Amino acid sequence: MRGRLFYRFMADAIFDINDPQSLEDKMRENWNNEADITWIDPKKPMVALSFDDGPVDPVSETSPAIRIQNALRDSGMHATFFYWGNTFNEGTRAEIERAQELGFEIANHTKTHPHLPELSVEEMKAEVEYMLPVLKEISGREKFLLRPPYLDVNEALREMIDVPLISCGLDSMDWAQATAKQMIDKIAKACENDSLDGKIVLMHETYDATAEAVEFLVPYLKAKGYQVVTISEMFKARGKDMQAGHVYGECPQ
């Protein structure tokens, strides 16, 4: 601990202390990006759809989560799924396993979906570590992107966390009762005006409206030349490093 504090002190002296990001970034290890990008053409546009608040209980062919998985699978596309502890149990574990088997990125959304900045560091740790054994066992990987609930981040979280934090560059607003048509219009418009390229899109796998939108959008985006990829795939395909404690909402070309 003392060594790290000393290094921080030295780093403060060396790097620009007026830029809080630069200190963090230079000291942290890069995200060990294990994504397989052999199927991705880095020159083509891409977008990372991402889905929070799963798994959905119970697991069934009519659950919005499985409909979303199937829409991606049927177009040969990928996405990132942020899972929480609220609905995780031995039954819903099957949904996470299915996401892993389909080549999707499984990621972390805490245990009980709190506002992390309102917690002590110990409480924060308990929240962000709860799903790790499950995600490790299912994927064989060691670390997982974290989407903080409500995209709510403070300095203590950025300091404590050993993985990149994921925000969003485009919000579907499904959490605010957006209809499937509203989501489709918003994303199709971004596709048409080229602002969608490189964006992380915030969605939730818990709504039927979201599933309906995704069932339309994935084939639509594919037809427009877009690759629908995981967050880690997008950064790796574009040769961009990700760092622990840094917040990412997009990956520009």
Interface residue list for Zn ion (CB under 5 A):
52-53, 149
| 73 vs 113 by CB, closer to Zn ion | 113
CA distance 224 to 227: 9
Residue 84 CB, nearest distance to Zn ion (Å)? 7
Q: Which helix (H) or strand (E) holds 171?
A: strand 170-171
Residue 141 CB, nearest distance to Zn ion (Å)? 21
| 53 vs 174 by CB, closer to Zn ion | 53
For 28-75, give the DSSP string: SPBP------TT--TTS-EEEEEEEEE--SS--TTSHHHHHHHHHHHH
Which ranges constitute the DSSP H helices of 172-230? 180-192, 208-223
| 24 vs 105 by CB, closer to Zn ion | 105
Which residues have CB under 8 Å from 87's CB, separation 6+? 53, 54, 55, 56, 57
Residue 151 CB, nearest distance to Zn ion (Å)? 9
Residue 160 CB, nearest distance to Zn ion (Å)? 19
Residue 53 CB, nearest distance to Zn ion (Å)? 5
| 149 vs 226 by CB, closer to Zn ion | 149
Residue 204 CB, nearest distance to Zn ion (Å)? 7
The residue with its CB nearest to Zn ion is 52
Dihedral of alpha carbons 212, 35, 252, 204, sign: positive
| 151 vs 190 by CB, closer to Zn ion | 151
Q: What is the CA radius of gyration of the chain?
A: 18
Dihedral of alpha carbons 101, 41, 253, 205, sign: negative
| 149 vs 245 by CB, closer to Zn ion | 149
Q: Which helix (H) or strand (E) holds 14?
A: helix 2-14
Residue 113 CB, nearest distance to Zn ion (Å)? 5
- What is the crossing angle of helices 64-75 and 208-223, to 10°? 10
| 115 vs 136 by CB, closer to Zn ion | 115
